[in-house]
């Protein structure tokens, strides 16, 4: 059935499970595989929600996160402040370095720093610090 789901439906399923604390490793593995195949059809919010859900449940998915990093980097200009912060948070929570993605997040965050709320700022700084990513322009802007 998972193969017939739209990207938004895939993201909604994992986000709901994560919100409820439901751990279904086989289902998450199947969703990860399906998401990787169709990652280029995910909207920014779906990319972010998927990463957030896997991170919230502490479910590593290296291939999925590689795909999310590549696709997010290409579309970083479409991310809002919360998307930027939550993406950084998800990667840092799972200890998944993504240097090119974090460079893109830093550049875009500097451009949008006025739209970050306190939680976005805290999550972003925490993520960069947790992964040991240097971003002097971002930290100066904050």
pLDDT in tens, 6-28: 999 999 999 999 999 998 889 99
Q: What mean pLDDT is predicted for residues 116-135? A: 97
- Report angle CA 116, 118, 121 to the nearest 5 degrees: 60
Residue given tokens 């169709």 in the structure block? 38
Q: Which two tokens stand for residue 70?
A: 């590549």
What are 60-111's pLDDT values in tens digits? Answer: 999 999 999 999 999 999 999 999 999 999 999 999 999 999 999 999 999 9
């Amino acid at each position: 059935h998972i193969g017939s789901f739209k990207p938004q439906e895939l993201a909604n399923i994992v986000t709901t499970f994560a919100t409820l604390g439901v751990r279904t490793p086989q289902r998450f593995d199947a969703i990860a595989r399906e998401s990787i195949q169709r990652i280029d059809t995910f909207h920014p919010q779906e990319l972010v929600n998927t990463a957030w859900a896997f991170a919230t449940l502490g479910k590593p998915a290296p291939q999925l996160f590689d795909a999310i990093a590549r696709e997010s980097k290409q579309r970083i200009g479409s991310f809002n402040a919360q998307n930027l912060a939550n993406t950084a948070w998800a990667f840092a929570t799972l200890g998944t370095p993504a240097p090119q993605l974090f460079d893109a997040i830093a550049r875009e965050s500097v451009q949008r720093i006025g739209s970050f709320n306190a939680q976005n700022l805290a999550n972003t700084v925490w993520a960069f610090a947790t992964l040991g990513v240097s971003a002097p322009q971002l930290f100066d802007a904050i």
